């Protein structure tokens, strides 16, 4: 019997077996052919089993991915609610997040959450950090240590620190927070000051200088010499080097502290109880591209933002007279579309912010939006349908505009 090369055995076994007459083959050869047939049958069965196993693996991967997506959607929803609760009552907000396993009770993790600050009101952060309960004091220390002050002068460090929260108005809270700041700054920059008291006093002196130089109600602007005089003997009885004080003075004079505003217009308050919110992809722009946007559905309007912490939306889509439906897109899955079913070709009355920050009229005849998973798409469609209101007068006006336009 001829020897089959190793690299051709698989092909050989998978080919149909040619039939030979009994006179052409010996008994030994016929037995070998039967063995080959049996091998071929077993091999085909193994291939089918392998296909089934591969299909099951892919199905399991798909189920796992859907499960993970659902968990992430649920986690984001809990996180969003927790942030809103924090902005109304910091202690209750953190308690909600820990009860729902989004945050642990670990002091470092809570501090990092506050330091990152996404979606959190900075006044609320300052209020929480200023409390004197043991847990709050531990979180304050860990929060301060999230800042990298090494090789920064005192003004640079204060700029970073005072931007991460809004300093409360109570003297005792300010004292605790500035004490923690001074201790950590000195640890990050050993040798700059002889004691943390020096850093503490000079920090307050700089904050007061900032007010005196940049408050329009203060007419008598302090010169550098007065700033030097204010800080004589604070370095364990010695004076601080004038070149150091000059750097600090000039820095504040040239650029005041940027203090976080708290005008009560934070989105977390304005949109406290939306019908739905979350990340979606929106098709738009002069060159049609998909962009990730944070959407909020409330008061029969759909708002979208670049970031969850933005105070003003990039666009507003009133839902009156609009319809919503599932659509297919060759590039994105799980799409739905907002459109005007009664007046095709008419622009949807909406507004957006252009590149110069001006509010302009939108130019969309429809809005195509993509969700992460089908479940999320269906929930958005249901929520939007519930929010849609209809004004027959608007339909009449739009139809008349279309009729007039067609005559031109």
Distances (CA, A) of 101 to 68, 94, 400: 16, 11, 56
Question: How much of the chain is helix, strand and coil, in % rounded to 5?
Answer: 50, 10, 35
The contacts of residue 114 (CB under 8 Å, 6+ apart) are 120, 125, 128, 129, 139, 143, 165
Could you tell me if 343 and 399 are in contact, meaning their C-beta atoms sit under 8 angstroms apart? Answer: yes
Q: Which two tokens stand for residue 39?
A: 């091998």
**CA pair distance 110, 225, nearest whole angstrom:** 43
Residue from 340, 345, 353 nearest 388 by CA: 340
Residues 6+ apart with CB under 8 A from 103: 82, 94, 97, 109, 110, 113
Annotated active-site residue 170? The verdict is yes
Question: CA 371, CA 333: separation in Å to the nearest integer?
Answer: 7
What span, in angstroms and rounded, lies between the C-alpha atoms of 401 and 341? 15
- Give the sheet arrangement for strand 289-298, strand by strand: 323-327, 335-339, 366-370, 276-284, 289-298, 301-305, 315-318, 351-353, 359-361
Contact 238, 193 (CB under 8 A): no
Catalytic-role residue among 29, 30, 170, 255: 170
Question: Mind telling me the catalytic residues?
Answer: 170
């Amino acid at each position: 019997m001829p020897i089959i090369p190793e690299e051709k055995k698989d092909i050989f076994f998978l080919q149909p077996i040619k039939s030979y007459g009994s006179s052409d083959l010996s008994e030994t050869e016929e037995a070998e052919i039967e063995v080959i047939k049996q091998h071929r049958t077993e091999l085909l069965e193994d291939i089918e089993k392998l296909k089934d196993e591969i299909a099951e693996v892919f199905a399991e991967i798909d189920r796992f991915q859907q499960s993970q997506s659902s968990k992430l959607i649920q986690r984001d929803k809990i996180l969003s609610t927790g942030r809103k609760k924090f902005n109304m009552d910091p202690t209750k907000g953190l308690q909600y997040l820990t009860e729902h396993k989004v945050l642990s009770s670990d002091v470092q993790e809570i501090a990092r959450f506050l330091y990152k600050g996404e979606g959190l009101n900075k006044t609320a952060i300052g209020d929480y950090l200023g409390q004197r309960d043991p847990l709050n004091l531990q979180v304050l220390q860990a929060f301060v240590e999230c800042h990298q002050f090494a090789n920064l002068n005192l003004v640079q460090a204060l700029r970073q620190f005072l931007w991460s929260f809004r300093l409360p108005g109570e003297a005792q809270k300010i004292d605790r927070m500035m004490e923690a700041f001074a201790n950590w700054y000195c640890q990050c920059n050993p040798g700059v000051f002889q004691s943390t008291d020096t850093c503490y006093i000079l920090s307050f002196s700089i904050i007061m200088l900032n007010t005196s130089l940049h408050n329009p109600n203060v007419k008598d602007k302090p010169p550098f010499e007065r700033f030097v005089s204010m800080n004589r003997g604070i370095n364990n009885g010695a004076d601080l080097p004038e070149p150091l004080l000059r750097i600090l003075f000039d820095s504040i004079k040239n650029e005041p502290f940027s203090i976080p505003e708290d005008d009560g217009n934070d989105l977390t308050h304005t949109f406290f109880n939306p019908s739905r919110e979350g990340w979606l992809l929106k098709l738009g722009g002069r060159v049609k591209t998909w962009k990730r946007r944070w959407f909020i559905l409330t008061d029969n309007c759909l708002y979208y933002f670049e970031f969850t912490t933005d105070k003003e939306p990039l666009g507003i889509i009133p839902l009156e007279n609009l319809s919503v439906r599932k659509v297919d897109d060759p590039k994105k899955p799980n799409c739905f579309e907002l459109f005007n079913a009664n007046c095709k070709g008419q622009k949807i009355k909406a507004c957006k912010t252009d590149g110069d920050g001006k509010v302009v009229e939108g130019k969309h005849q429809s809005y195509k939006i993509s969700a992460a998973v089908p479940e999320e798409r269906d929930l958005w469609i249901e929520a939007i349908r519930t929010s849609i209101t209809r004004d027959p007068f608007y339909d009449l006006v739009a139809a008349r505009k279309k009729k007039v336009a067609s005559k031109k």
